Chains A and B, each alone.
Chain A
């Protein structure tokens, strides 16, 4: 089983500290959510982990033998942006293996793309232009692009934003199943606390400048802590189906 050890992690931009002193240990087979109010640095944090922006501190990835793994084992899925490319779905997913592609695409890459598209039920969309897909379909193709590289760590930046309820569940189901099936570590930035409660094995709650709390969903999603961080009175309850729901009641008086 792999582990990711984050210690004294921080990000500064133009001499201003945005995040500092974040430490956590994440284990393979677990899906961890990063939650927090707007502007606290959730995307900055996940981009820092992906090494897309400069950060300080240490993030070490080790396999079960204690061997340090390279960052090639990480796949990052950015927030959904407008797509102008006319590449087909098949080609977009193929680009998930861009680092290993040669001029003549080897058979095993084509097979891997076919496999992941079949698994996600997307093979019938193979010829479609990526930019002409619906938002939900685009997000699924982007997930397929990340998963085709068989990453050991999957980083998802707000994968459910702008998606309808059905696609929200579908995208997170895929992430959860991949995590459990392959023993990968998945980090997901989420705004919806009910989805975080439903899918997370672990939650990192960020507040201005750093980590407010980390732990199991039942420990992090407590009304007093959420009220302090979000400045909103909330009700945390369990539905008849057994899912935790977080309902905002009203802004706190201090707000």
Chain B
């Protein structure tokens, strides 16, 4: 560094600056491309794997000829595997994105939909619906996802309301999230205690988080929320990048951090609600995916947010494959697999930080 050079008036070499900027982003684009390719491969494997193993050629021809082709392979791919794989895509992307945003706005590496109690609230909503059996708009199968969706929004609202009353400080909001987690877990236990053995079993199965509950309706709802959230968030990428450099710094750059936190928190709440309402509690994706992405591309949210979504999907699809091959002929609830993978990672993070 030339310490004697202070505000030299000469023209800079702009090409050099352009080269620096290009080089910073070139590596990130390459990583993005590699993860995307890995994801395509993992998705194809997920379509091949299951109680009935299909060859890659069978999968491709079933995809080519569409659901109208009246073959067994077509029925397996279009009616069973594709809804599950698409659910993986939507849920993984939504949880990955929501996790990144929560960690950014709360400046806490352990913030995620799971650790903030939003998933626990969804669990209680679902349990309540199983217990009461109240049909939503006369459609009984919609009552569980709707109830889970509404309860996760309610939990987010509670965390936000309590946080706002205390000045939207990141640490306070995380602590409120922990309180919310315990509160909804207690309520859910109460519902389970009151429920008949059959209903209690349904609740427990829901809490595992399973792709067997996948439906095209669920895919449509969560993908719509994800698309809208992506479009809205793309407007705030630079503000969020500034926030990741520190609250004080972001405020000094003229960003209304409280308002930004509010908007992004609401978006994250919808993403989480849309993701967990249809498949149940999926832990650790929202925690692990952002860390993987951050380690590879840093804090620039133009890369971090989409890559977190991609990692969320990659983790979900990989977990889905594992869930199908661990016990032949049985599909393990994916929530169990994601948690088993997530726990060591969480331990690694804590050990690394301390």
Question: What residues make up the interface of A, taking CB atoms closer than 8 Å to B?
Answer: 50, 52, 71-72, 75-78, 81, 83-88, 90-92, 95-96, 98-99, 101, 103, 105, 107, 110-111, 113-115, 117-127, 130, 137, 145, 166, 170, 173-174, 177-178, 181
Contacts and interface: CB of A to CB of B under 8 A. Distances in A.
A73 to B, nearest CB: 11
Nearest to A169: B6
A127 B10 CA distance: 22
Interface of B: 1-14, 16-18, 20-21, 23-24, 234, 237-239, 241-242, 244-246, 248-249, 251-255, 298-300, 302
Given A52-B252, A114-B14, A124-B1, 6 more contacts: A81-B246, A85-B299, A95-B242, A121-B2, A126-B20, A177-B6
A-B CB proximity, top 7 nearest: A114-B17, A118-B12, A121-B2, A121-B5, A85-B245, A101-B238, A177-B7
Nearest to B235: A103
Contact of A52 (B244, B251, B298): B251
A11 B56 CA distance: 70
B238 to A, nearest CB: 4
A73 B302 CA distance: 27
Contact of A76 (B239, B252, B300): B252
Nearest to A104: B302
Contacts of B300: 87, 91
Interface residues of chain A: helix, strand, loop or mixed (majority):
helix
Contact of A86 (B3, B13, B21, B299): B299
B261 to A, nearest CB: 16
A96 B1 contact: no
Contacts of A99: 253-254
A91 B249 CA distance: 14
B242 A123 contact: no
Contacts of A81: 246, 248-249
A103 B302 contact: yes
A8 to B, nearest CB: 25
Contact of A103 (B2, B234, B252, B298): B234
B318 to A, nearest CB: 26
Given A72-B254, A78-B249, A111-B14, A166 B7 contact: no
Nearest to B255: A98
Contact of B238 (A95, A118, A137, A174): A95
B24 A127 contact: yes
Nearest to A88: B24
Given A114-B14, A177-B6, A103 B245 contact: no
21 contacts: A71-B254, A78-B252, A85-B246, A96-B253, A98-B239, A98-B242, A110-B14, A110-B21, A111-B12, A111-B14, A111-B17, A114-B13, A114-B20, A118-B10, A119-B6, A120-B5, A121-B2, A123-B17, A126-B20, A145-B253, A174-B7
Contacts of B4: 121
Contact of A84 (B1, B5, B10, B246): B246
A149 to B, nearest CB: 8
Contacts of A105: 21
A121 B246 contact: no
A174 B299 CA distance: 29
Contact of B246 (A83, A86, A118, A123): A83
A84 B7 CA distance: 28
B255 to A, nearest CB: 7
B104 to A, nearest CB: 11
Contacts of A145: 253
A91 B24 contact: yes
B16 A123 contact: yes
Contacts of B239: 98
A177 B5 CA distance: 12
Nearest to B234: A103
